[in-house]
C-alpha cells in the first residue's frame, strides 16, 4: 500500500494549510490562532467531538469509525508551536512574526495530521475511535506533560499513542524508528558562583569567581569522561557564562552559568545529577567561592514500546517500502510524557536534503506530506480493522 490516493489528491490543500501556519508562527502555549484553525477544520471535517483548551491551548478531535464494537481508542499526536528564531529563508510564505519561526517543522506535523484527520473523517474505515491530538509547547514548555496531567488519556480512553517528526538529511518520505530509548532526557541547570570582586590589577585582594567558573566548566566534563560507563551516553553542556562585571578592569563578584544535561538511561540520569552538584560545589569551594545549584529534570527519556514500534515500522514499510533503524537522538522530545502514560511509538519521516531543524534557513519539505499523512491514516486502519 503506497501513499493513499485521497491524500495525494489533498496534497496541494494540505500544503496551503502548512504554509499559512508557517507564515503565522506562535510560541509555546501562545498557539491561539493555530489551535483555533485546527479546531475549526476538525469541525468542518465532521469530527464527532472537538475539545479545546486541553493542556491550556491543546486541541483533541474524536473520530468514530463506521463501527465501534472494538471499544478501542488510539491517539495520533502532532505539535503546533514554533521557535523564538528570526527566519532567514526568504520564502514567499516566511514568518510575518518578528523573532518567531517554524524552525522545527511543527507546521508540517500539524498540517499532516489535519490531512489524516480529514481522510479518516471521510472514510471511517475502522472499528473504534481515533483521537487526533494537537499539542502546544513542545519546544521547552512541556505541553505534552500539560495535556497528560489535564487527564487527556483517561478522559478520551486513549489506549495507545503515536507521534511523528520530520528528519532533515533522511531520504524524502522514508521512515526510521527504533524500539526502547530513542530521544534523551533533557535536564536544565543554573549555577551561581559567588566570590569577592575587586580591581583587576589586584587579583590577590579578590576571590575570583570567573576562575572558579572556568574550572567548573572544565570539571563538569569529567562526569561523562570518568563517571559514566563508556558504553552509555551523557552530554553536559554549559551554554551560557555571564559575570556581574561588564568592565575590562573589574573582577566580578558573581558568575552565572546555564546549560543542559542529556542522558538515555535512568541510572545514568541519577548519577549525573548527583555528581553535578558535588563537582560544582567542590570546585567552587576549592577556589574559595560558594556555589548554588538549581538542577531541573525537564523532559524524561522518550521510550518506544516494543510491540507498537514493530507495528509502526510495518506500517511505514507498507507506505514507503522500507523503514530503517533510527539512531539514538540526544535531543529531547516531550512526546515522552505521552509514552510514559500509554504504550506507543514515535517515528521519523525523511525531510530530504534540507537545512537542519532549529536553523534560521530550515523549512519543512511539503513533498513529505503524502507519506506522513498516509502513515497516520494507515496506523488507524490497520490497528482498528473493520473486519476485526
Total structural domains in the chain? 2
Please write the tens of the pLDDT for every residue from 49-71. 999 999 999 999 999 999 999 99
Examine the domain organization and report whether 26 and 159 are in the same domain: yes
Q: How many residues does the chain have?
A: 388
Domain hosting 35: range is 5-183+301-383
Among residues 276, 299, 322, the one where a domain terminates is 299
Examine the domain organization and report whether 24 and 57 are in the same domain: yes
Task: Please report, in range form, the residues annotated as the binding site for Mn(2+).
Answer: 104, 106, 139, 165, 358
Examine the domain organization and report whether 194 and 174 are in the same domain: no
CB 220 within 8 A of CB 268: no
Examine the domain organization and report whether 179 and 327 are in the same domain: yes
Please write the tens of the pLDDT for every residue from 154-196. 999 999 999 999 999 999 999 999 999 999 999 999 999 999 9
- Identify the CATH number of the domain in which residue 48 sits: 3.40.630.10
Task: Classify residue 155: in a domain, yes or no.
Answer: yes
CB-based burial label for 148 (10 Å; 0-12, 13-18, 19+)? buried
Examine the domain organization and report whether 135 and 24 are in the same domain: yes
Short-list 175, 144, 177, CA closest to 158: 144
DSSP state of 96: S
**175-213 burial string, b = 16+ CB within 10 Å, else e?**
bbbbbebbbbbbbbbebbbbbebbeeeeeeebbbbbbbb
Total-model pTM: 0.95
DSSP state of 207: B
pLDDT at site 249: 98
- 347 - beta bridge partners? 164
CB 155 within 8 A of CB 94: no
Q: How far apart are CA 272 and CA 279, in angstroms?
A: 10
Q: How far apart are CA 6 and CA 366, in angstroms?
A: 16
> Predicted confidence band at 3 (pLDDT cuts at 50, 70, 90)?
confident
Residue in this structure with the C-alpha cell 560544582, named with its chain if needed? 280
Examine the domain organization and report whether 95 and 214 are in the same domain: no
The chain-wide mean pLDDT, for the chain, equals 97
Q: How far apart are CA 353 and CA 138, in angstroms?
A: 24
Task: Please report, in range form, the residues annotated as the binding site.
Answer: 104, 106, 139, 165, 358
Amino acid at each position: 500500500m503506497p501513499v493513499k490516493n485521497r491524500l495525494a489528491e489533498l496534497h496541494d490543500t494540505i500544503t496551503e494549510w502548512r504554509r499559512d501556519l508557517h507564515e503565522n508562527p506562535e510560541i509555546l502555549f501562545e498557539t491561539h490562532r493555530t489551535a483555533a484553525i485546527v479546531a475549526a477544520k476538525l469541525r468542518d471535517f465532521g469530527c464527532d467531538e472537538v475539545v479545546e483548551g486541553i493542556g491550556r491551548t491543546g486541541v483533541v478531535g474524536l473520530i468514530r469509525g463506521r463501527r465501534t464494537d472494538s471499544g478501542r481508542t488510539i491517539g495520533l499526536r502532532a505539535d503546533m508551536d514554533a521557535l523564538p528564531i528570526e527566519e532567514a529563508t526568504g520564502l514567499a510564505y516566511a514568518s510575518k512574526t518578528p523573532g518567531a519561526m517554524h524552525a522545527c517543522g511543527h507546521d508540517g506535523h500539524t498540517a499532516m495530521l489535519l490531512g489524516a484527520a480529514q481522510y479518516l473523517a471521510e472514510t471511517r474505515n475502522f472499528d473504534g475511535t481515533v483521537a487526533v491530538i494537537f499539542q502546544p509547547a513542545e519546544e521547552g514548555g512541556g505541553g505534552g506533560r500539560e495535556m497528560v496531567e489535564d487527564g487527556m488519556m483517561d478522559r478520551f480512553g486513549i489506549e495507545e499513542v503515536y507521534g511523528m517528526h520530520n528528519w532533515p538529511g533522511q531520504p524524502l518520505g522514508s521512515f526510521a524508528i527504533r524500539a526502547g530509548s530513542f530521544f534523551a532526557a533533557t535536564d536544565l541547570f543554573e549555577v551561581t558562583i559567588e566570590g569577592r570582586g575587586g580591581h583587576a590589577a589586584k587579583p590577590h585582594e579578590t576571590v575570583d569567581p570567573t576562575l572558579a567558573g572556568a574550572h567548573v566548566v572544565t570539571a563538569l566534563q569529567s562526569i561523562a569522561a570518568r563517571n559514566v560507563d563508556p558504553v552509555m551516553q551523557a552530554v553536559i553542556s554549559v551554554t551560557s557564562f555571564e559575570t556581574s562585571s561588564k568592565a575590562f578592569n573589574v573582577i566580578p563578584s558573581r558568575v552565572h552559568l546555564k546549560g543542559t544535561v542529556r542522558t538515555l538511561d535512568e541510572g545514568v540520569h541519577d548519577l549525573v545529577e548527583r555528581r553535578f552538584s558535588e563537582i560544582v560545589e567542590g570546585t567552587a569551594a576549592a577556589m574559595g567561592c560558594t556555589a548554588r545549584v538549581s538542577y531541573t529534570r525537564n523532559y524524561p527519556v522518550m521510550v518506544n514500546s516494543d510491540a507498537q514500534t514493530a507495528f509502526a515500522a510495518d506500517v511505514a514499510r507498507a507506505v514507503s517500502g522500507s523503514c530503517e533503524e533510527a539512531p539514538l537522538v540526544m535531543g529531547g522530545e516531550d512526546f515522552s510524557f505521552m509514552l510514559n502514560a500509554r504504550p506507543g511509538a514515535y517515528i521519523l519521516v525523511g525531510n530530504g536534503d534540507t537545512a537542519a531543524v532549529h536553523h534560521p534557513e530550515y523549512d519543512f519539505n511539503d513533498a513529505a506530506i503524502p507519506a506522513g499523512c498516509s502513515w497516520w491514516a494507515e496506523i488507524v486502519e490497520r490497528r482498528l480493522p473493520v473486519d476485526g
